[in-house]
Every structure is written in C-alpha cells, then in structure tokens.
Amino acid sequence: MPKDTSLQNATNLTDLELARNLTGLEDKWLQPFDVTDPFAGLRLEGYLSRKPNHLYGAVAILRVDEHSAPQLIHATPKLHYPFGKSGQFHFPPISKIDIFEKLDGTNVLAYRYKDADNNEHLTYKLRLYPVLRNGKWGAFLDMWREMLELYTDIPTLADKNDCAISFELYGARNLHLMTYENPLDCAVLFGVDRQGNCRPPFELDLGPVPSARHHGTLQADHDPVEEYARIRSELEAEISPAEEDRLNGLEGTVWYVTTPSLERVMFKCKPESVEAIHWKGGINKEAVKATCWNLLETQDDLSYAALEPMLLEEYDREDIGRFREMIDLCLADINLELEFRDQVLAQYKSIGVRLSQDKGKVMRHMSGKYEKRLMAKVYSTIKLHG
C-alpha cells in the first residue's frame, strides 16, 4: 500500500532517494530489483530491504509496468533471540506468551500491491526476493503452485484479513536442516499488517488453511527465563541425528509476547543442536549451512562473497574472519552436494524413463554409475528432485 501518496509526484527524487524515504533506511541496506510478477505478469521495479530487523525483506515498489506507483510492503521480519551475546535476557513486560512451532523450510509471503491506476494485485515473495522464482536448486514457484492447488483458499487470505500472510513451505522435497516425512506442505506463520505489526494465527481467519502448531500459552506469572530454558531443554531432548548431517525433531519455537499495552514482540527459541549462535564466541556449522541454503533460494551460485552479507546479519566481521576456514568447508560441502544432485538428475534424465514407471530399470542404470554405498542417496535424490 502507498506509504505517502505525495511521493507519487516527487519526480525530482532519484529512485534511491525515493526508496530511502519509503523505508527510512540507509542506502547500504537497499538492494535494487527489476522483476516480473509471475502471477500478474507485471514488471516490478524498486528496492528490497536487507536490514535484519522488522523491515527485513520489505519491498519498496517504485514502478509497476514502468508507471510510478511508490509503496512500501512489509514482509517477514527478522526474528531474534530474547537475549544478547552476553546471555542477558531482555523480555519486555509480559501479559502472556503464545508459543508456536518453528518450521524449517522456505518462507513465502502473500502480499498485495497497487498499480498506477490503484488496481490491487496479489503475489508471493521469497524472504529476500520480491517475487517467487524457480532456482537451479529449488523450484519454489512450482512448489508453491502445488500449494495453491492443495489449499484453494490461500489467495483469499490476504484480502480477508487485510494484511500480508507469512507462510512456511516445508517438507522432504524442500529439505533444509530438519527432516520431514511429508513430501511437501505449507503452514501460515502469521499476518503482517500495513504498519509491519505481526498478527499470530489465532487472530486470523484462515478457513481450512493450516497454521503452525500452537504449543501452549504462558501467563504473566510464569518466569519467562525459566520457561525458556525448560522448553529449550525439551526441544533438545527430542532431537536425533539424521542422514547427511541433518536432524530429526523440531527446529524450535516462536514466542509471541503480548505486553500489557497489547503490543506484540516475537522471539525465537531453538534447541542447542540447531541454535544459530554459540554465545561463547563461536559460529555454529549448521547455522552456516542453513544460511547457505537460504542464499540458494534467491540465486543459483554459492560463494563466500555472496554468503558474507547474510552472515553479517548474525555475526561480527571479526568472528566471521576467525571462522573463515570452517565457513569455506561448509561452502565446499554444500557445493559438493549440489554437484552430486546435478549429476544424478542428469543421469536420470538421460534414461528417458520415470522412476514411477519402472523403478527397477532406473535403479539398474544408476547402479552402473554409482558405488553401492551411494545408491540410497541416489534413490532419495531422484525421488525428491527428479
């Protein structure tokens, strides 16, 4: 929605100045974009916010189909822990805390924007990209179209609730750190209104569309620090190792803190096995790998130069430098995994037979190309990505 209609007449402003006025951000946080909305077929030009706060992923649209239509779209904000690197907690005054499951997949935001004639259009975006796209390592647009067929009410939710709707697209076919038995699914995380305020699932009219699972509510008389430690310990107890350095269990929980003045503040709570930061001065290997997979949502090549800006959202430059060797190893591991996937799918395509048509023929062919110890991985790669 337009933040300030007077900006439409500010022809003397450069694009960057206009984006700066819409977002209130410094230039260093603004990334230009020029994309086509795959749902409405309209060209969108503007800037995306990379600042890791409530404006994370927000889009300042300047033009729609080359016509001036400046507007700010709030997106899925950056979630933080309720404590700093010193370990000191900083919970606000609490009326209650609602706790929801934190899903591990790809964030998709349903949002509405207006063209120059004030017509409204619905589209969907990735966390750090203004629309949905198919990448070399993830057919996010195609997978989301499957969700739109599965849950036909999804396109109605943004209008029905008068806010953007944040989803998680997760499952075995969109594998990150945590494993899922379900091949592919999605769930509503929360709504994001025009001011960037988040609305938890119980405040939304979702109809038959699923939301993240509600884990319970803490009242004002509960000690949040004590409860945080308890829930974190319970989550850790359910974690077990899976294949290829992945984990079974829950990635964590999201805490919606409602203050006495009815403001809402969100925090994340993760078990030690998947926690993004070791607060004793280290960088977690799994967190770096998760950041690599997030980067591959918006681009096809994985490199240190592209990864570093995302790492700087969580870590100090000095820490990143001290752990550069480990980061390079993570990059090498994932690039090897991507190369393996690429080779397997190329071999599979060359057979000309689908796995569902003749599993025996496909696997006999593949067994002549790969060692026996790799065949389980070959099969799962074809099943999930072929």
Residue 8: what pLDDT? 44
The pLDDT-based confidence of 246 (bands split at 50, 70, 90) is confident
Nearest CA-CA partner of 160 in 188, 128, 185, 129: 188
pLDDT (tens digit per residue) in 70-92: 999 999 999 988 987 777 899 99
Contact by Cβ (8 Å): 238, 274: no
pLDDT (tens digit per residue) in 211-230: 999 999 999 999 999 999 99
Residue 276: what pLDDT? 44
Rounded to 10 degrees, the C-alpha dihedral 317/318/323/325 comes to: 80
pLDDT (tens digit per residue) in 304-346: 999 998 888 878 888 788 888 888 888 888 888 888 888 999 9
pLDDT (tens digit per residue) in 15-30: 999 999 999 999 999 9
pTM, rounded to two decimals:
0.83
State the chain's mean pLDDT as an integer: 90
Residue 275: what pLDDT? 64
CATH of 74-275, one of 2.40.10.10, 3.30.470.30, 3.40.50.720, 3.30.530.20: 3.30.470.30
Task: Determine the 3-state secondary structure of 46 from DSSP.
Answer: strand
Q: Match 């499951």 to its residue by tokens.
A: 101
Average pLDDT over residues 162-181: 93
Query: How is the chain split into domains, by residue range?
Result: 74-275, 281-385
Strand residue runs (E) in the chain:
30-36, 43-49, 59-64, 67-73, 96-102, 106-114, 120-126, 134-135, 138-139, 164-170, 185-192, 198-199, 214-219, 240-241, 247-248, 252-258, 264-269, 277-278, 282-283
pLDDT (tens digit per residue) in 269-306: 988 777 643 334 567 777 788 888 888 888 888 889 99
Nearest CA-CA partner of 116 in 225, 262, 241, 8: 8
